[in-house]
Amino acid sequence: MPGTVVVGAQWGDEGKGKITDLLAEKADVVARFQGGNNAGHTIVRDGEEFKLHLIPSGILYEAKTCVIGNGVVIDPHILFGELEALRARGIGGDNLRISGNAHLIMPYHLLLDGANEQQLGKFKIGTTGRGIGPCYVDKYTRIGIRVQDLLDEKILRRKIKTALQEKYFLLQRYDIGVLDPDQVADELLSFRERMEPFICDASLLVNTALDQGKHVLFEGVQGALLDIDFGTYPFVTSSNPISGAACTGIGVGPTRIDHVIGVAKTYTTRVGEGPFPTELFDETGVAMCEVGQEFGTTTGRQRRCGWLDLVALRYAVRLSGVTHLALTKLDVLSGLPTLKACTRYKAGRKVLDEFPLRQTDFHHAKPIYEELPGWTEDIRECEAWQDLPQAARDYVQYIAEFTKTRVKFIAVGPGRDETIVLPRSIGRGGAL
């Protein structure tokens, strides 16, 4: 540590929850910096399963401070729903702090998310329908409602009126009808008392912690290929799930980041629409889905599955300056006679070595594969690098070499203990 960022290096759902949970053990502060409850983390702890969408996974450790940064968009219903569910299981949540600058997801954002998708018809993005995009739109149009607005009722009511004025035509056009600004404000104000104790200056809190030599874990959600700037636009989310966003989404400088952990599955999945060159439509894809239990934590949608796309992974490593990789779900590949890893694309007559700049090229990209031998052994009991079958080690080594990065974690099962932590990273040496 002391400043470590965890990000997804694919299209989200890489198993970041589990890796974050492992790293959180050593952190004093866990801070989320982007996205909203479009994310979903499943953490298995002592056989107990926790599903979190908004609250950072560090909440399970009561001694740590858990921060929701300004870059996150917050649906208060979800926030307090999660807190209540945690409290019902004996987890207090008093260690949570929320940036006063974070934006709130309003009821009209949810309505507009659905309406936008309907309007796009066959060009729809396949959003999670949680109002994420419309909330970020308001943020950048500068008519968003922020957490701190809850502290000033008069201003809040005025801001909601302004925001709704602009939406009036859209909501009518989509036959949604008109929302009463006072009703919207009343509903939001019902959260004020509960929200107030959590509100903080997250930038000050996190920088002070770093100044004191404490360890801060910056928790990203989604993944690089869903990045609004660098992902497979327009089939992306509305924030930047890359490491740089940890700075703007909390309020720290880049000099405060020491390590970047990129989390990637040992194959690829994606939910929602959009291009996916290594997608499988055969029985191998079905097996990956079944064995890997590839259903979304947030929407329950079945994830599309395919071989590992190393070109895309190397791109994600570059975008986030990944220092260490955490490879997950290696156990899901057990029993496959041969593994394929995409090392280049073919788009028309062109052979592409790098992730293409032009979206049309990526839409037409066909994978060029390297084949590697599989293994038959069940690897869920493996506790160390040496316990893995040679073919599994070769596969991991191949990933490290192709992406020119170090592998620090290998997950061989969903449980917290089913993770191999490599004492010396595989790939270009160096300690974490």
> Any idea which residues carry the catalytic annotation?
13, 41
Q: How far apart are the C-alpha atoms of 222 and 140, rounded to whole Å? A: 20
Closest approach of ligand IMP to the CB of residue 117, in Å? 9
| Total of chain residues touching ligand IMP, rule CB under 6 A | 21
Closest approach of ligand IMP to the CB of residue 351, in Å? 28
Distances in Å between the Cα of 102 and the Cα atoms of 37, 200, 395 are 13, 10, 41
Q: Which of 67, 96, 125, 426 binds ligand IMP (CB under 6 A)?
A: 125
Q: How far apart are the C-alpha atoms of 126 and 389, rounded to whole Å? A: 39
Q: How far apart are the C-alpha atoms of 108 and 177, rounded to whole Å? A: 11
Q: Is 37 in the site for ligand IMP (CB under 6 A)?
A: no
Q: Is 128 in the site for ligand IMP (CB under 6 A)?
A: yes
Nearer CB in complex with ligand IMP: 122/154? 122
Nearer CB in complex with ligand IMP: 195/411? 411
Closest approach of ligand IMP to the CB of residue 193, in Å? 29
Beta-bridged to residue 97, according to DSSP, are: 67
Q: Which of 34, 238, 266, 278 binds ligand IMP (CB under 6 A)?
A: 238
Q: Which of 20, 232, 237, 320 binds ligand IMP (CB under 6 A)?
A: 237
Q: Name which of 340, 202, 327, 219 is nearest 284 in CA terms.
A: 340
Q: Is 127 in the site for ligand IMP (CB under 6 A)?
A: yes
Q: Binding pattern to ligand IMP, positions 137-176, x when CB under 6 A? A: ----------------------------------------
Q: Which of 235, 307, 345, 395 binds ligand IMP (CB under 6 A)?
A: 235
Q: Is 245 in the site for ligand IMP (CB under 6 A)?
A: no
Q: Which long-range contacts (CB under 8 A, 24 or more apart) does 429-432 make?
A: 430/323, 430/406, 432/259, 432/323, 432/324, 432/408
Closest approach of ligand IMP to the CB of residue 131, in Å? 8
What value, to the nearest 5°, has the Cα angle with vertex 300 and ends 295 and 302? 45
Beta-bridged to residue 65, according to DSSP, are: 29
Given a contact cutoff of 8 angstroms between Cβ atoms, the answer to whether 322 and 316 are in contact is yes
Closest approach of ligand IMP to the CB of residue 225, in Å? 9
Closest approach of ligand IMP to the CB of residue 204, in Å? 29
Q: Which of 7, 13, 99, 410 binds ligand IMP (CB under 6 A)?
A: 13
Q: How far apart are the C-alpha atoms of 45 and 69, rounded to whole Å? A: 25
Tokens read off for 123: 């060009």
Q: Which of 15, 17, 272, 356 binds ligand IMP (CB under 6 A)?
A: 272
Q: How far apart are the C-alpha atoms of 278 and 340, rounded to whole Å? A: 9
Query: 116: Cβ–Cβ under 8 A, 6 or more apart, which residues?
Result: 127, 133, 134
Tokens read off for 306: 């395919």
Residue 176: HSE in the Cβ half-sphere, 13 Å Cα cutoff? 23
Closest approach of ligand IMP to the CB of residue 119, in Å? 14
What value, to the nearest 5°, has the Cα angle with vertex 65 and ends 257 and 100? 85
Q: Binding pattern to ligand IMP, positions 400-429, x when CB under 6 A? A: ------------------------------
Nearer CB in complex with ligand IMP: 109/157? 109
Q: Which of 18, 130, 139, 159 binds ligand IMP (CB under 6 A)?
A: 130
Going through 77-215 in order, the beta strands assigned E by DSSP cover 96-99, 103-104, 199-200
Q: How far apart are the C-alpha atoms of 85 and 269, rounded to whole Å? A: 29
Q: Name which of 63, 68, 82 is nearest 25 in CA terms.
A: 63
Nearer CB in complex with ligand IMP: 127/328? 127
Window of 127-135, 250-258, 344-352, 417-425 that interacts with ligand IMP by CB under 6 A: 127-135
Q: Is 132 in the site for ligand IMP (CB under 6 A)?
A: yes
Q: Is 135 in the site for ligand IMP (CB under 6 A)?
A: no
Closest approach of ligand IMP to the CB of residue 127, in Å? 4
Q: How far apart are the C-alpha atoms of 419 and 400, rounded to whole Å? A: 17
Q: Is 226 in the site for ligand IMP (CB under 6 A)?
A: yes
Q: Which of 17, 69, 71, 133 binds ligand IMP (CB under 6 A)?
A: 133
Window of 67-75, 194-202, 235-243, 307-315 that interacts with ligand IMP by CB under 6 A: 235-243
* DSSP string of 125-142, one letter each residue: ----SSSHHHHHHHHHHT
Question: Would the CA dihedral through 408, 411, 415, 421 be positive or negative?
Answer: negative
Nearest residue to the partner ligand IMP, using Cβ: 272
Interface ranges with ligand IMP (CB under 6 A): 11-13, 38-40, 125-128, 130, 132-133, 221-222, 226, 235, 237-238, 271-272
